[in-house]
Structure 1
Amino acid sequence: MSEENTRYDASHIQVLQGWEAVRKRPGMYVGSTSERGLRQMVFEVADRAVNEVLAGRAASVDITLTPDGSVCVADDGPGGPLDETEGASGPGLEALLTHMQAGVGAGDRHDVTIGFCGVGPAVVNALSSRMTAEVRRKGARWVQEYARGVAATPLTEVGTVTGSGTTIAFWPDADIFGATEFSFDALEERFRELAFLNQGLEISLTDLRRPDEPRSVRLSFPGGTRDFVDFLDDHTAASAPMDTIAFEREDPRMGGVMEVAFRWCNCPDERVQSFANSRPTIGGTHAMGFRDGMTAAITAYAREQGLLTPTDPDFSADRIGAGLTAVVSVKLDRPEFEGSTRGVLGNSEVRDCVGQAVQDHLGRWLKEDPDRAAAVIDQIVQGARRN
């Protein structure tokens, strides 16, 4: 091999300027250039609007899929700040939409990140052929247009308005994504989760892409995780041997709050979903604590009532899972996740906190409603003996 072929110096290093890096490797920022990546684009824009509602500055969020291929996200808050001189309520409009991660929240219990990465709307701008922003603030209406991450027009006042709020619309760049067909069902699933996990959050999702077949859903669930369990059970709820147990508890030891709801139904399947700071998780210390508390309470009650003989072993977590539907949600000031995808919660103190709370609430219910408690225990005992 010649010296020319083996020599490596600074001239071989490629430096990507501005949004060129995002557009060259979009999967690093939104996961993929398939429908999954398009969905993440919606979530990154909707993040700010959802947090406006959770902070009490807005009442609702409206997401619309339009016939021209754009997605429009609107809220009825006070209208985002136009520039950095308007106080500490966030970055100015152009900074929010052109600077990487500008405006991304601190990630504590009060902040929701809808997507898996939280890179912010500026990345969406870079991956869109066009983006428009409208701010209705202090009686004035302001608009600005962008193209592939760069402002195409100056921020301009175009008239007066009576209401307030912010509307951002974007058109995914077909040169990057090819087919730009959003899945209404997949968007509805994630926004429904958020509405279940955050009482007071109201989200409307509308699909106008087919004028002859418009679709629209309004997602708002005052019952929170209790409503979530009802939804997961669906048609099996009528055969439940127990009402839903639901509680919320603040625990300073874990620096956060837990919201838990569960019940058993007369079916063999287990439906347990866990969340940390409104993110879906595949497991972690909150899920382990839930199972610890369940097994401890069930085993203790069964022994007190003579439903387990002295030679019978304690129940294991897999034994109590048959027919169990549960939602375990924790919101922490300092969440610690294992791995970059944040699918597993790692805060060690959460396990004991959730476990003790579940054991207390389930143990109390078992003693207060012995007839239904007997039905639940019998279902678990029979299932354990069959196995």
Structure 2
Amino acid sequence: MAQRDEYSARHLSVLEGLEAVRKRPGMYIGSTDSRGLMHCVWEIIDNAVDEALAGHASNIHITLHPDDSVEVTDDGRGIPVDIEPRTGLSGLEVIFTKLHAGGKFGGGSYNAVGGLHGVGASVVNALSARLDAHVTRGGKVHSMSFRRGEPGTFAGNKPADVFTPAEEGSPLQVSGRAKRGLTGTTVRYWADREIFSPEAQFLEQELVDRARQTAFLVPGLRIVIHDHRGAQHFEEVFQYDGGISEFVDHLSADAPVTDVWRIQGHGAFTERISVEGVMTDVERDCEVDIALRWGVGYDTTLKSFVNIIATPKGGTHVTGFEQALVKVFRKVIDSNARRLKAGNDKVDKDDVLAGLTAVMTVRIAEPQFEGQTKEILGTPAAKPIVNKVVSEALEQRLTSSKRADKQEATGVLEKVVAEMKSRIAARQHKETQRRKNALENSTMPAKLVECRNKNIESSELFIVEGDSALGTAKLARSSDFQALLPIRGKILNVQKASVSDMLSNTECAALLQVIGAGSGRSFDLEVARYGKVVLMTDADVDGAHIRTLLLTLFFRYMRPMIEAGRVFAAVPPLHRVEIINSGRQVNEVRYTYSESELVALLSDLEKSGRRYKEPIQRYKGLGEMDADQLSETTMDPAHRSLRRIRVEDAEAAERVFDLLMGSVVAPRKEFIIEGAAAMDREKIDA
């Protein structure tokens, strides 16, 4: 027992060099799944982008090969190949084999970059079954290969080929000649499948999105993606000269309240760092560049970057930005409270961020990040600098006397005040809207047919089209857990209407009140009064239009219901076929849900020699069904079919609805002209 509990220095493990990376890869790349695999790609790409940021590269090529390898080529200066004096190794070998080594630690080679920890290339090398690096400098092509971080030579071109470790001295080889003045770096590596999980794979769409994002952030940089893995080679090119202003236009989905505003500035700060072992105060400069615009929606899209590295979890720069927004808007609204009818209430951060699309970048030499994945900026000085730059520029814009600026400022100020009023009204709604007992039901809309069950998870709200369908649905429903809310025809088009118009609309207000969880940003899924909401409309063009209107309302103001998978569309049948049975057998009834399904059924009946009653009943609306038919086909959980509405469905519906019913006419005109030739006049219900 005493020996088992013994603990001394000889029990300690000391991991040398890249051995630590292979032993604990999660510490360096976050995980060993697809996310970690992609993180390795970003490390190599970011090194190439840093050359572009420094003004030495203008082209980056990323190639996915069929053999599961990735190749990144840039036309930058090329990794140094001369001997590094302290180690006696070539610069190339130092960068790929030594942790915390590189040209980004204050040596003057880079000013503001993304790969700042000096572990990116060496970590990728350690986690690769093979890595080949080729550097073009001084009219020569220098090459070196590695196996799991160890330099050496391969007998062939594959990771599985015989590998000979390098002996003493640098194994750097001159593998060819290059034109004078031509420089650059090519890195090709094969991820070590002993480290990464079998399911890990390169995510093509994520690579495309990241390449597009980087091209936005580095104006003029040309990034080309080659995917040679499939039967057909895929290639996509990204280059944007407008920078983050074009990025904001790309991200914006809703109609604009303002044009894209550009805010730029900088500030200096002092930072204490270690220089050759001595703590020294150095002067730093923080450059701030922000593009932003407000739209008519309430969703916020805020992308933040530090030296082109995304910080999805924010940090000090985002905190400074948001604090400046709230401070300036409160100040300007307070000084114009009477004109804006703002009252004594104060706007908060959510009111200001509603409908905002913004891309913010800060450039700092040697920024402090929280962890190797660099998702949060920790440099304290960024907060006051960003706050000051944004406050001054935004206040100047909102109080400008120029005609165009004044019009846009009025629009965004009115929007923020409307969001504040909507938030307060929604909160009051939420406070009063809870599942009521029998004595309190009078506060709900009179047309709501409530269910008896108080268990939210099992309760269902059917939104039915018109009073005729309501009468049948009352008889068809299970009153224990199915509630009904009729709507009269087509509800308000919330794609074009303001928040106040939506709240004042009878049908929209009734729906929000019945669901009882608020609207927009203040929507609280936890207090929604029903576990499922089912849109039950007629199986015709008008029914589809009403369903689209309802989906637009849910997508814009009650999106958490869709994201939680609690919104469904009923699937009522189109046809009722009564199959005649011989003798005294009761005739069989079959329902079909499309023309093709009906044709297939009738064909099968003819082949088998069975007869059916004619004419076949075609349901033009839910009101044509009797209660038994409606229950059996559409409402009874044992027999019905429901289509779960996903966020992608709602987004597609909103895009189509914006095209067909939005305020911008030109795209709609083009759509009608393009589709006119394919339109079948026989299908027009006129």
Q: Distance in 2 between matches of 1:209 and 1:246?
A: 41
Matching residue of 1:301:
332
The answer as to whether partners of 2:369 and 2:378 remain within 8 angstroms in 1 is yes
Runs of 4+ in 1 over 6 A off after TM superposition: none
The alpha-carbon deviation at position 341 of structure 1 amounts to 5.4
Cα distance change on mapping 1:299 and 1:8 into 2, 3 Å? closer
Kindly state the Cα deviation for residue 12 of structure 1 after the two structures are TM-superposed. 3.2
Local SS of the residue matching 2:194: helix
Structure-1 residue corresponding to 2:261: 245
User: Residue 172 of structure 2 aligns to which amino acid in structure 1?
Assistant: L
After TM superposition, give the deviation of residue 346 of structure 1 in Å: 4.1
Does the 8 Å CA contact 2:22/2:195 hold for their aligned counterparts? yes
Tell me, yes or no, if structure 1 residue 228 matches structure 2 residue 229: no
Measured against aligned partners, the alpha-carbon deviations of 1:319-350 in whole angstroms (never above 9, x if no partner) come to 11211111222222353445675544344443
Q: Deviations over 1:288-322 (max 9, x none)?
A: 32223323333343344433458423322221121
CA 354–39 in structure 1, closer or farther in 2 if over 3 Å, else same: same
Q: Say whether the 8 Å CA contact 2:264–2:389 is kept in structure 1.
A: no
Q: Find the aligned partners of 1:19 and 1:382 in 2 and give their Cα distance.
A: 57
1:276 aligns with 306
Q: CA deviation at 1:82?
A: 1.7
Aligned: 1:175 with 2:194: yes
CA-to-aligned-CA distance 1:2-56 (integer Å, 9 cap, x gap) = 3332223444334444433322222222221111111121122223222222222
Task: Look up the match of 2:683.
Answer: none
8 Å contact kept, 1:257–1:330 = yes
Match of 2:28 in 1: 29
Q: 1:194 aligns with which of 209, 214, 224?
A: 214
Q: 1:362 aligns with which of 387, 394, 404?
A: 394
1:152 match: 152
Verify the 8 A CA contact 1:103 1:120 in the aligned structure 2: no
For structure 1, which segment, 218-227 or 347-356, has the greater mean C-alpha deviation from structure 2 after superposition?
347-356
Note the residue ranges of structure 1 that are not aligned, 5 or more in a row: none
Against the structure 1 CA distance between its residues 22 and 291, is the aligned structure 2 distance closer, same or farther, given a 3 Å change threshold? closer
* C-alpha deviation, 1:257, in angstroms: 0.7
Establish whether residue 323 from structure 1 lines up as the match of residue 355 from structure 2: yes
- Between the aligned partners of 2:349 and 2:9, the Cα distance in structure 1 is 58
Aligned partner of 1:203 among 207, 218, 223: 223
Structure 2 counterpart of 1:40: 39
Partner letter of residue 245 of structure 1? Answer: W
Distance in 1 between residues matched to 2:29 and 2:373, nearest whole Å: 12
**In the superposition, relative to structure 1, how do residues 191 and 95 fare at CA in structure 2: closer, same or farther (>3 Å)?**
same
The answer to whether the 8 A contact 1:255-1:334 is kept is: no
Identity %: 37
Matched, 1:386 2:422: yes
Which residue in the other structure is 1:291 paired with? 322
> 1:60 Cα shift?
1.6
- CA–CA separation in structure 2 for the residues paired with 1:340 and 1:67: 30
Q: What is the CA-CA distance between 1:184 and the residue it aligns to? A: 1.6
Partner in structure 2 of residue 110 of structure 1:
111
What whole-Å deviation, never above 9, does each CA across 1:236-260 have from its counterpart, x for those lacking one? 2xx1021010122122257311011
Q: Please state whether the residue corresponding to 1:283 is helix, strand or coil.
A: coil
From the superposition, tell whether residues 84 and 40 of structure 1 become closer, same or farther in structure 2 (CA, over 3 Å). Answer: same
Say whether residues 1:377 and 2:377 are aligned partners: no
Amino acid in the other structure paired with 1:150: E
1:371 aligns to what SS in structure 2? helix
CA distance in 2, matches of 1:340, 1:145: 25
Matches within 5 A, 1:90-105: 92-103=91-102, 105=104
Q: Rate the CA distance shift 1:196–1:106 in 2: closer, same or farther, 3 A.
A: farther
**1:59-101: CA deviations, max 9, x gaps?**
2221111111111011112332222269xxx962222222223
Query: TM-score, normalising length from structure 1?
Result: 0.87
**Change in 2 beyond 3 A, CA 1:177/1:55:** same
Deviates more, 1:194-203 or 1:142-151: 194-203
Cα distance change, pair 345–94 in 1 and its aligned pair in 2 (3 A)? closer
Given that 1:278 and 1:329 are in contact with CA atoms closer than 8 Å, whether structure 2 keeps it comes out as yes
* Cα distance in 2 between the residues matched to 1:341 and 1:172: 18
Range 163-172 or range 17-26, more displaced: 17-26
Three-state SS of the structure 1 residue aligned to 2:325 is helix
Matches within 5 A, 1:31-110: 31-84=30-83, 92-103=91-102, 105-106=104-105, 110=111
Matched, 1:161 2:178: yes
8 Å CA contact 2:129–2:191 kept in 1: the answer is: yes
Name the SS of the counterpart of 1:176 in structure 2.
coil
The alignment partner of 1:335 has SS state of coil
* CA RMSD in angstroms, aligned pairs only: 2.8
Q: Against the structure 1 CA distance between its residues 350 and 94, is the aligned structure 2 distance closer, same or farther, given a 3 Å change threshold? A: closer
Which among 263, 274, 287 is matched to residue 293 of structure 2?
263
Any conservation in 2 of the 1:79–1:136 contact (CA below 8 Å)? yes
Q: Report the Cα distance in structure 2 between the residues aligned to 1:336 and 1:150, rounded to whole angstroms.
A: 30
Asked whether the equivalents of residues 28 and 373 of structure 2 are also in contact (C-alpha less than 8 Å), the reply is: no
Unaligned runs of 5+ in 2: 154-170, 270-283, 424-686
The 3 A distance-change label for structure 1 pair 85 and 322 is closer
Equivalent pair of 1:44/1:121 in contact (CA under 8 Å): yes
CA distance in 1 between partners of 2:49 and 2:330 (Å): 42
Question: Bigger shift: 303-312 or 374-383?
Answer: 303-312
Q: Is the 8 A contact 1:297 1:362 kept in 2?
A: yes
Alpha carbons 2:104, 2:115 under 8 Å: kept? no
Letter in 2 for 1:293: A
The aligned length equals 378
Structure 1 partner of 2:620: none
Tell me what 2:547 maps to. Answer: none
Counterpart CA distance in 2 for 1:350 and 1:85 is 34
Q: Distance in 2 between matches of 1:334 and 1:105?
A: 8
Q: Say which SS state the counterpart of residue 206 (structure 1) adopts.
A: strand
Q: Supply the AA of the counterpart residue of 1:195.
A: A
TM-score by length of 2: 0.51
Hey, what does 1:143 align to over in structure 2? 143
Aligned to 2:129: 129
The DSSP-based 3-state class of the residue aligned with 2:4 is helix
